[in-house]
């Protein structure tokens, strides 16, 4: 039912300014979930096999990518739609408003989005409270963490450590975002020396937290699609040396080669959706080779159909995430991917 009504809803939503449509949709989804309508409309998610990754069991391999539920206050609603895991955030230690608007642009002819949101989020404490108050979602919740805009890169590690500690009691996994193009200097933390230093500190803190709490929370790093082969090889080795639990590949791209003729291509920010698909699959393949298949990969970037999902799996991804595909195709895409399964796209 929900799947059949989405094309109509999308028509109406796409008439609204993109960020207004986003905020309105989240409010509507939450309200529909609270009063039981969403459950009736969405029905039962398709049966799919559980999957093990990062030492955890996931109800299925398809998750919601970071950035859609930045605050973590819509987890139950997204869960109803069939996602097996939801990555909230990016969340920073302090709340921050993000970049000036407009900062979100739809490119419907390309099934793409450009955003320069700049980590608008309510801060880690509220994120934790929101996750604690989710009640019905049975899947896994990841915390995607970042640094505040006014924290200089030499102190970035303190922001990540603070978020790690705060999220520890409630997160199923932590994703360290080193790849947003919209926080000045963030991507420099993907440099081999900086990444090694960051990982060393984070792993030491995780060991302490495990000792104190008796629980362990896997650590993932989210990478950019704009890394070259040499950078991927160097990072892969560092990830192996520091026993990283997963690589999330990829974030949005700053490259505009595939949308040159598009007037909005000049907008600053990260490009996602269909034009990102092949590039992100290549990066998944390159990381898979660089780590010899020893670190699982969460594949994200331009999954607009079950065959795109299959391509990511063939490139080496264990889990998958959607953002833009969900905006363009709605809940139907979740079902199509889940019912296609890994071998039958
Ligand atoms: C509007 C918007 C906001 C995003 N915000 C974040 C974010 O806060 N943190 C993050 O790690 N990724 C963020 N992303 C990137 C997505 O999680 C995803 O990696 C990227 O969009 C590629 O997937 P897609 O092609 O399915 O959209 C954002 C993407 C969009 C479109």
For residue 87, is it left (φ>0), alpha (ψ between -120 and 50) or beta?
Answer: beta
Q: Is residue 4 part of a domain?
A: no
Q: What pLDDT was estimated at residue 40?
A: 87
**Ligand 1 midpoint to CA 65 (Å):** 6
CATH label of the domain that carries residue 270: 3.20.20.70
Kindly state if the Cβ of 182 falls inside 6 Å of ligand 1.
no
Atom 21 of ligand 1, residue of closest alpha carbon: 272
Handedness of CA 243, 182, 96, 133 (dihedral sign): negative
pTM of the model: 0.97
**Ligand 1 midpoint to CA 345 (Å):** 24
The alpha carbon of 306 is separated from its chain's Cα centroid by a whole number of angstroms, namely 18
**Ligand 1 midpoint to CA 271 (Å):** 9
Q: How far apart are CA 261 and CA 258, in angstroms?
A: 9
Kindly state if the Cβ of 281 falls inside 6 Å of ligand 1.
no
Kindly state if the Cβ of 322 falls inside 6 Å of ligand 1.
yes
Atom 3 of ligand 1, residue of closest alpha carbon: 67
* Ligand 1 probe mutation, 63, 67, 275, 321, most atoms within 8 A of CB: 67
Q: Are 323 and 272 in contact (CB under 8 A)?
A: yes
Q: How far apart are CA 265 and CA 290, in angstroms?
A: 32
Q: Is residue 21 part of a domain?
A: no
Ranges of residues in the chain with a pLDDT under 50 are 343-345
Atom 24 of ligand 1, residue of closest alpha carbon: 301
SS (H, E, C) 210-229: HHHHCCCCCEEEEECCCCCH
Tell me: the pLDDT tens digits for 227-239? 999 999 999 999 9
Q: Which atom of ligand 1 approaches the CA of 104 most closely?
A: 1
Kindly state if the Cβ of 67 falls inside 6 Å of ligand 1.
yes
Q: Is residue 41 part of a domain?
A: no
Tell me: the pLDDT tens digits for 173-214? 999 999 999 998 898 888 999 999 999 999 999 999 999 999
**Ligand 1 midpoint to CA 136 (Å):** 25
**Ligand 1 midpoint to CA 142 (Å):** 14
Q: What pLDDT was estimated at residue 1?
A: 67
List the domain range (segments joined by +) for residue 188: 47-340
Kindly state if the Cβ of 180 falls inside 6 Å of ligand 1.
yes
**Ligand 1 midpoint to CA 213 (Å):** 32
Q: What pLDDT was estimated at residue 345?
A: 41
Q: Is residue 2 part of a domain?
A: no
Q: Is residue 12 part of a domain?
A: no
Q: Is residue 141 part of a domain?
A: yes
Query: Does the active-site annotation cover 74?
Result: no
In this structure, how many other beta carbons lie within 10 angstroms of the beta carbon of residue 294? 12
Question: Can you tell me which residue has the tokens 């937290």?
Answer: 209
| Antiparallel, parallel or unpaired: β 140-145 and 246-249 | unpaired
Tell me how many domains the chain contains.
1
Atom 13 of ligand 1, residue of closest alpha carbon: 67
Q: Is residue 37 part of a domain?
A: no
Kindly state if the Cβ of 327 falls inside 6 Å of ligand 1.
no
**Ligand 1 midpoint to CA 214 (Å):** 32
Q: Which atom of ligand 1 approaches the CA of 70 most closely?
A: 8
Kindly state if the Cβ of 65 falls inside 6 Å of ligand 1.
yes
In percent, how much of the chain has pLDDT > 70?
98
Q: Is residue 18 part of a domain?
A: no
Q: Which atom of ligand 1 approaches the CA of 89 most closely?
A: 8
| Antiparallel, parallel or unpaired: β 297-300 and 246-249 | parallel
Q: What pLDDT was estimated at residue 308?
A: 98
Catalytic residue among 74, 166, 179, 180: 180
């Amino acid at each position: 039912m929900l799947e059949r009504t989405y094309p109509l809803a999308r028509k109406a939503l796409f008439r609204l300014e993109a960020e207004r449509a986003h905020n309105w949709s989240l409010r509507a989804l939450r309200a529909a979930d609270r009063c039981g309508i969403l459950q009736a409309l969405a029905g039962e998610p398709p049966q799919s096999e559980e999957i093990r990754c990062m030492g955890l069991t996931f109800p299925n391999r398809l998750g919601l990518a970071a950035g859609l539920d930045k605050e973590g206050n819509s987890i139950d609603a997204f869960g109803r739609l069939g996602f097996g895991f939801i990555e909230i955030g990016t969340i920073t230690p302090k709340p921050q408003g993000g970049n000036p608007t407009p900062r979100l642009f739809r490119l419907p002819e390309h099934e793409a989005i450009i955003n320069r949101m700049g980590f608008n989020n309510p801060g880690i404490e509220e994120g934790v409270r929101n996750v604690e108050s989710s009640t019905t979602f049975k899947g896994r919740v990841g915390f995607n963490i970042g640094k505040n805009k006014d924290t200089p890169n030499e102190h970035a590690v303190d922001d990540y450590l603070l978020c790690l500690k705060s999220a520890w009691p409630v997160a199923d996994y932590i994703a360290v975002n080193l790849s947003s193009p919209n926080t000045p200097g963030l991507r420099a933390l993907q440099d081999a020396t900086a990444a090694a230093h960051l990982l060393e500190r984070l792993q030491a803190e995780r060991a302490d937290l495990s000792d104190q709490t008796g629980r362990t929370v896997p650590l993932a790093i989210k990478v950019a699609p704009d890394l070259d082969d040499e950078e991927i090889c160097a990072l892969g080795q560092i990830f192996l040396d520091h026993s990283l639990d997963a690589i999330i590949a990829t974030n949005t791209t700053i490259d505009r080669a595939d949308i040159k003729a598009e007037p909005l291509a000049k907008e600053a920010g990260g490009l996602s959706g269909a034009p990102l698909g092949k590039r992100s699959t290549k990066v998944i393949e390159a990381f898979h080779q660089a780590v010899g298949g020893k670190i699982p990969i969460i594949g994200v970037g331009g999954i607009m159909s079950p065959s795109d999902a299959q391509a990511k799996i063939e490139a080496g991804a264990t889990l998958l995430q959607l953002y833009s595909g969900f905006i363009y195709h709605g809940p139907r895409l979740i079902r199509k991917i889940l019912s296609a399964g890994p071998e039958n796209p």
